[in-house]
Amino acid sequence: MRFVDLIDKKKKGYEHTKEEIQFIIDSLMNGSVEDYQVSAWLMAVYFKGMSLEETANFTKAIIDSGEVIDLSALHEICPHVADKHSTGGVGDKITLILIPLLASCGVPIAKLSGRGLGHTGGTIDKLESIPGFRTDLEIEDLIEKVKNVGLAIGSQTKRLTPADGKLYALRDVTATVDAVPLIASSVVSKKIASGADYVVLDVKYGSGAFLKTAQEAEELANWMVNIADKLGKKFHAVITSMEQPLGRAVGNAVEVIESIDFLKGNMTSDIKELTYEMAALTLVTLNICQNNDEAYNMIDEAISSGSALEFLKRLITSQEGNPLVIDNYRLFAQPKYMRQIFAERDGYVSNVDAYKTAYACKLLGAGREKKTDIIDYSAGVYLNKIYSEHVNKGDVLATLYANDESKLEMAQEFLKTAYTISDYEQSSRALIFKII
């Protein structure tokens, strides 16, 4: 079998056999193929696509290129282990809320998360804004922590799906990142290799998301759910709008604080809608609850009793963070400078553009352009007014935090353009487009 023949085959739009797919991944891993040949094959896939059967075989080969976490030891706690993944959004702190919430409902969670890049934030960056919090866990340590406290969140490890890492590096420099079969196989391979029995996906679309339309998000969601099904795993995909930021906080420490506040019962309606829906899907799918009503009652009880907040505290303590941040937000890194933007007229907030908000946040130092960039955990934005809320002229629309005063002015001007104020009260907008 020659790699050049497989490039030619895909270039002509033919389907690869399972053996050919395995040869492609083996050649990548053993170094017998040149990067320019793999790049040519990726470009052929970009233009000619892959069938579902092909993509499932491709995903399985990527999984088999590294280790697969064995979570069977956790089944003595619960028959099934769950996981959650988001395609990335602005102010997307759902993981920080959902994981301790599910753990408090009896669902063990062993989660691997990533860092932020571009205008979307990363769960690992947010967690590392907690003083002392460690995310560099070995797989064995991750499993042990879940056995002891019911949950753990670590940074992604090269021991899982190493072929995906090699492929992504080439996709990144050949403009083939946005090929749907390649995106789907990348996400699904990492989730299955992480060992969960069930995964709920949050597939976002809109100005603050990688995918811009609901139709694009639905296509990707279908691919991921169907690939997982082919490989014997149960996935749900919740397709959600990212036209506006989730909640009020965008940054790192500010999002952790908003997550803590949520688990204390102080909720914005959008975060509540998405968190409750994803939690209920998980609880019903794993037969912990019989229906959504029962699940919602369990979720309400976990929050009102303080149980979910206690599991967040356990997570922080287990991973060497300072649990006192739960009640003392001054223990987070504090910014030197603060600035506010004000409403220039009376009216109602009809839009807060997610991308512009995220870009302003990145200007403040809370995001990164390259993986090696250092971020400022204390920098961020707090949206004092969000969609549909009434404002009077002079009201504070948003508050910006930074350690570099020169960054504030540019970010302030940019954030002003994110707000649209209208004369009329706004109708409610659906956050969830569809569940697959």
- Mean pLDDT in residue range 116-140: 85
Q: Are residues 281 and 413 in the same domain?
A: no
**Average pLDDT for the chain:** 93
Residues 29, 90: one domain?
Answer: no
pLDDT at 98 (0 to 100): 97
How many angstroms separate the CA atoms of 190 and 162, rounded?
10
Tell how strand 380-383 and strand 249-251 pair up. antiparallel
- Asked if 171 is an active-site residue, the reply is yes
Residue where one domain finishes, among candidates 309, 326, 343: 326
Q: In the prediction, which pLDDT does 121 show?
A: 67
Residue pLDDT, tens place only, 19-56: 999 999 999 999 999 999 999 999 999 999 999 999 99
The verdict on residue 58 lying in a domain is no
Judgement on whether residues 34 and 147 belong to the same structural domain of the protein:
no
> pLDDT digits over 389-430, tens only?
999 999 999 999 999 998 898 999 999 999 999 999 988 888
Residue with tokens 């005063």: 405
Residues 252 and 273 grouped into a single domain: yes
pLDDT (mean) for 342-365: 94
pLDDT at res. 248: 97
pLDDT at 1 over 90: no
What is the pLDDT, as a whole number, of residue 367? 80
- Between CA 341 and CA 335 the distance in angstroms is 17
The verdict on residue 62 lying in a domain is: no
**What pLDDT, on a 0 to 100 scale, did the predictor assign at position 430?**
84
Half-sphere exposure of 264 (CA within 13 A, CB side): 10
Structural domain contains residue 429:
no
Q: Greater confidence, 386 or 74?
A: 386
- Tell whether 17 and 109 lie within a shared domain: no
CA 305 to chain centre: 27
- Give the pLDDT mean for 211-215: 93
User: How far is CA 213 from each of CA 91, 93, 220, 240, 418, rounded to the nearest angstrom?
Assistant: 19, 22, 11, 10, 19
Last residue of a domain, one of 326, 343, 359: 326
Q: Is the domain of 377 the same as that of 240?
A: no
CB contact at 8 A, 34 and 51: no
Q: What pLDDT shows up at residue 55?
A: 97
Domain that holds residue 371: 334-422
The pLDDT of 59-74, averaged and rounded, is: 90
Same domain, 249 and 292: yes
Mark whether 252 and 340 lie in a shared domain: no
Residue 411, in any domain of the structure: yes
Bridge partner list, 144? none
**In whole angstroms, what is the distance from residue 133 CA to residue 123 CA?**
12
404 is catalytic: no
Residue 165, in any domain of the structure: yes
Active-site residue identified among 10, 85, 166, 368: 85
- For 245-275, the pLDDT digits (tens) are 999 999 999 999 999 999 999 999 999 999 9
Q: How many domains does the chain have?
A: 3
Note if 186 is an active site residue: yes
Read off the pLDDT of residues 320-332 as tens digits, 9 standing for 90 and up.
999 999 999 999 9
Determine whether 164 is an active site residue: yes
The three-state secondary structure class of 92 is coil
Do 131 and 211 reside in the same domain of the chain?
Answer: yes
**197 and 340, same domain (yes or no):** no
Instruction: Grade residue 117 by pLDDT with cuts at 50, 70 and 90.
Output: low
Token reading at 1 = 């079998």
Residue 147: give its domain's CATH number. Answer: 3.40.1030.10
Q: Mean per-residue pLDDT for 182-186?
A: 95
pLDDT of residue 371: 66
- The backbone region for 390, taken as left when phi is positive above 0, alpha when psi lies in -120 to 50, beta otherwise, is beta
Q: Which of 111, 115, 119, 171 is catalytic?
A: 171
Q: What confidence score (pLDDT) does residue 52 get?
A: 97
Query: What secondary structure letter does DSSP report for 14?
Result: P
Residues 140 and 191 placed together within one structural domain of the fold:
yes
Q: Which residue, of 280, 295, 326, is where some domain finishes?
A: 326
The DSSP bridge pattern shows strands 234-241 and 198-205 to be: parallel
pLDDT of residue 158: 84
Give the domain CATH number at 376. 3.90.1170.30
Residue 414 Cα to chain centre, angstroms = 25
Active-site position among 83, 92, 125, 164: 164
Annotated catalytic residue: which of 186, 194, 241, 259?
186
So what's the pLDDT on residue 81? 83
Tokens of 157: 């490890």
In a domain, residue 436? The reply is no
Which residue is catalytic, options 115, 190, 204, 248? 190
Reported pTM: 0.92
* 268 inside domain: yes
289 and 369: one domain? no
Is 54 a member of any domain? no
pLDDT for position 292: 96
Confidence tier at 17 by pLDDT (50, 70, 90): very high
389 burial (CB, 10 Å; 0-12 / 13-18 / 19+) is: middle
- pLDDT tens, 82-101? 899 998 889 999 999 999 99
